[in-house]
Structure 1
Amino acid sequence: MSNQGGFVVKLQFVYVDSKGEKHHVDGTGGFPIGQTQTADPGDYGVPDGVPVTVYAFVVWGRDHTAEQFFIYSKGNPWIANFTISGTTLDNQLGFTGLSGG
C-alpha cells in the first residue's frame, strides 16, 4: 500500500472464512506519507485459499476496507497494489492494479 495521505497508516487485512464470516488481522507497523509497505497476508494469519483484502488503519483517523477481494495463495508472485490519500478524517483507499507475476 502506498501512503499519499497526510497521516500515518498501518497495512492490515480482512479475510472471509468458509462460513462467510469476516475476520480482521493486524499487519505492518505505521508508515508516513510518501512511503510504501508490502506485506504477505499469510505472515499475519490469513489462511491459504480465502478471499482477502486490505484494511487501512489510519492512526487517529478514518479507517478503510478496500472493496476488491482476492483469493490468497501462499507463494503467488502477484501483488495487489493500493493507494490511500487525503487527510485523517477525509481519505480514500483505491486499488491501483496488479504487479509482480
Structure 2
Amino acid sequence: LEPLAEAGVDAVVLGCTHYPLLRPVIETVGARMFPSGLTLADGAEATAAELATLLTERELRGAGPGGLEMLVTDLPDRFAEVASRFLGEDVEGLAVKQVDL
C-alpha cells in the first residue's frame, strides 16, 4: 500500500477475487498509512447483489439448493489447499477445474 499512499490515492477497487479476503488486513494497514482515510470498493459484493436482483426479476432463481463448481487458472490442488485455509472449511472434495483463459 505504500506506493498508493505516496501517490495520494484515497480509494482502491478490490478488483481481484482474493482481495476481499484480504480486506481486513488492507483496512488495518490502510488506517495507519492513510491518515485522511482510504475508501475500499469491493466489486464482488455489488456484482453478486446485481446478479441476485436480475435473477429474481427474470424469475430465474432456483428454488432448491444450488451446486458449486470452482474454475481456477492456477493449479487446482493448490487452490483447494489455499481456499480451505481462507474459508475455514474443506473444499478439497469439491469439483475444482483448471481453465485456460
The two structures have a TM-score, normalised by structure 2, of 0.22
Structure (1 or 2) with the larger CA radius of gyration: 2
Higher RCO by CA contacts (8 Å cutoff, separation 6 or greater): 1
The two structures have a TM-score, normalised by structure 1, of 0.22
Report the structure, 1 or 2, having the larger helix content: 2
Report the structure, 1 or 2, having the larger strand content: 1
